[in-house]
Amino acid sequence: MAEKTLPKGYEPADVEKRWYQHWEETKAFTPEADPERESYSIVIPPPNVTGKLHIGHALNMTMQDILCRFNRQQGKNVLWVPGMDHAGIATQNVVERQLAAEGVSREDLGREKFVERVWQWKEEYGGAILQQIRRLGASVDWTRERFTYDEHLSKAVREVFVQLYEEGLIYKGDYIINWCNRCHTALADDEVEYAAKAGKLYLIRYPYSAKGGSGERLPDLVVATTRPETMLGDTAVAVNPEDERYKDAIGMEVALPLTNRTIPVIGDSYVDMEFGTGCLKITPAHDPNDFEIGRKHGLEALQVITSRGIMSDAAGPEFAGLTTQEARKKVVAELKARGFLVEVQDYDHNVGQCYRCKSVIEPHVSTQWFVKVGPLAKAARAAVADGETKILPDQWVKVYYNWLDNIRDWCISRQLWWGHRIPAWTCEECGELTVSREDPMACAHCGSAKLVQDEDVLDTWFSSALWPFSTMGWPEKTKDLEVFYPTSVLVTAFDILFFWVARMMMMGIHFMGKAPFSDVYIHALVRDAEGKKMSKSVGNVIDPLIMIDKYGCDALRFTLTAFAAMGRDIKLSEERIEGYRHFVNKLWNAARFVMMNLPESMPADAAEREVEKTPGVHHQWIFHRLEQVKEDVASALTEYRFNDAAQALYQFIWHEFCDWYLEMLKPEFNGEDDNAREAAQVAVWTAFTEVLVLLHPIMPFVTAEIWAVLPDTAGDDIVHAPYPAPRPGAKNEAAEKAMVLVQETIVAVRNIRGELNIAPSKGLALMVRPSDADAARILEENRSMISTLARLDSLTVDADITPPKAVASAVVRGSECYVPLAGAIDFEDELARLDKELGKIEKELAVGAKKLANEGFVSKAPAEVVAKEKEKVETLSDKRDKLIDLKERLAAASQE
């Protein structure tokens, strides 16, 4: 796979393409359905066939891939099923736009030719996202790729529909649905998005058509509405029976303005006495709540708006044929002219819009197909309540329960041509329905051959609700179903908790007898660096494909993982991705250093050696820490604490393994002691191979490339490497304690160098008064290491030491460290340098203080700009105070 040596710089593009092609060709991620092995399975949330990879997909896929690769390392039989959704509305819209550009409509083509055209588009352009998922390194089994419109999955869809129909859980009826005038189709309740919009509240007078019981004329009722055009379809005015203002009005009739009709005043506890005037106009055909009130009171549902968003004949000759917006203007003008408009108020409210095209939704009474979800929802709720399925973070459990507790029957018919056509036929002779698994030749009721299939197709979410079991071969009893169902976890975004997750729970329990997942992990949103939602219009979108091109896939994956704290949105910036590209480079350079110091092949017993007992506190310490990291990473990934796993690896690899351990190995690699060199080689080879395996689930490509060239792993594929086994004897608290003292002593000397601007090449003397005999022993045993890494000419460890007067000092774990300054620095030059630096800081502080004293700047500049200026001034002030203190100490020392 890779060369035997590593080039100077890591170039991800070639590496990523080469390794992914290798994994796909070798079927590295294709498991056998083996019932004897512990299984672990995930079904990919199927992206739309029209989709393009966005940063949310990148996060979702990265998390799933980490889990799959990690569980393969645990020895489990892992299946990750990929696939796509046929996306009825979205796909039909794409092809219709394509046709429109050619001057053709779908009606011009006819249904059969149009569907052929969509399939043609799908084969030519659809599914680009699957190639993009490959670029993320997703370890899916491409031999099991599925599409919700595949022949087999279509068979599963028909079987489910027929079974539910036969059980009385699917029915056809007139009901108010959400209608998109742009897409010309019904939408389920959870496909409607709500957006806050500035609108108007119109107060309209409805006069009584007769006098009250006392013979006196009652004051007119006043209703409040945001949609005055719908009043033409009013069939009642409702008041709350408990409302003292209107008790006498119940049972009377009012004249409906602009029409020749009168409508009753009804009493219903649904009416909010505090909203508006406490009088509610009831328009059953154009409001879901009004529809329910209308059914309860036996009111007519008068349709005054057509499915095209045009006023119907029932709206009256003055308004028929107008659009809803035109009708609104005309109705308001007429109400005002005739004295019925009492007041118009500004009013902000939530407006329903189509989740696909963002057009305003029009409630519409229509004959549709529905799933009676009550029994299904009850079982889906119980599965979580009883612990069969766990939802994480648990804040989403209450949301899940609330939705299921208040669920309405699911409208599953869509007025589209692309999708699973409803398997129901109406007999032209007897008018009865025939619902069948196979296309019927004759009516099931009268035997007539004159059958017409329902024109509608099924909601896309209906087929994707079957995804966890339809992708594994249901309704046949397959090996995949036996071994891999129920799946282990579903990783998804919160916005499809209802669209998809709850419906998969319903269908999986009903048809398989078991919930489809053990765990449901709901990941957070990826926002921009300021915490704002990413939006093309705002211009703050981060394109994952561009980031992969610039920084490599591993850098993007690690960044997303490092910030993926459970329940917290991710604040992402390109700078952070670039920062983790430096981490990839750090690992690469560490690999080059390790390779340069390893033999072509390791000793035959290298893998069996008790490396944790290798002489030298640095060896014992690194294996102690490695053991802790192995436990921390395994625990974090098992509990979906992705960020904790990433941070544990980052801290260990960069700061402990690279910055300390590899530096501490140089004397052994370059020394004359062959035994010490070989022991160091075996230790670093062992530690580094384990590091690569630990990091592999998050950074698959760079770890695979390095693994392939290491001695005794060359030619192997890291995807098959097991998770590093525990090494109980490696736990060594004494080694960690000793290493902390050694490291902090070295850091103390380095800090003194930096503070006093002493060149790294300048050898220093260090005098230490140890805190106790144990500290003295540790410092003496590691004298050579401390002297090398701190660049000392001499090291004196003595409890009775008397340092000279001109010293820089530090206290490390109770031990007093002194660096004599005579000969180490030129006091006069250093004091001059400090004066110059202090002068520069004072100037900068004066500029900052002037800005903050300017009321115009503080009040008019953006808050974040003012905050940054304040932070800058505080930082400069702190630096100035430290330099003044240092100058005073040096001045005093120079006099001694």
- Tell me the binding residues for ATP: 536
In three-state secondary structure terms, 102 is coil
Tell me, letter by letter, the H, E, C secondary structure of 369-424.
EEECCHHHHHHHHHHHHCCCCEEECCHHHHHHHHHHHCCCCEECEECCCCCCECCE
CB 484 within 8 A of CB 79: yes
CB 469 within 8 A of CB 513: no
The sign of the torsion formed by the CA atoms of 353, 354, 356, 359 equals negative
711 vs 596: CA distance, rounded Å = 11
> What separation in angstroms does the CA of 335 have from each of 126, 208, 231, 338, 347?
52, 16, 11, 5, 19
716 vs 462: CA distance, rounded Å = 44
The region that residue 309 occupies, defined by phi over 0 for left and psi between -120 and 50 for alpha, beta otherwise, is left
In three-state secondary structure terms, 14 is helix
886 vs 890: CA distance, rounded Å = 6
> What separation in angstroms does the CA of 197 have from each of 134, 290, 328, 360?
40, 22, 17, 11
Q: Which residue intervals of 597-699 are DSSP H helices?
A: 617-638, 642-650, 663-670, 674-695
Nearest to 139 by CA among 74, 72, 55, 47: 72
843, containing H or E segment: helix 827-853
Binding residues: 536
> What separation in angstroms does the CA of 887 have from each of 715, 751, 873?
60, 16, 21
In three-state secondary structure terms, 351 is strand
In three-state secondary structure terms, 364 is strand
Find the distance separating the first CA and the last CA of the chain, reported in whole Å.
Answer: 66
Q: Parallel, antiparallel, or unpaired for β 487-493 and 457-458?
A: unpaired
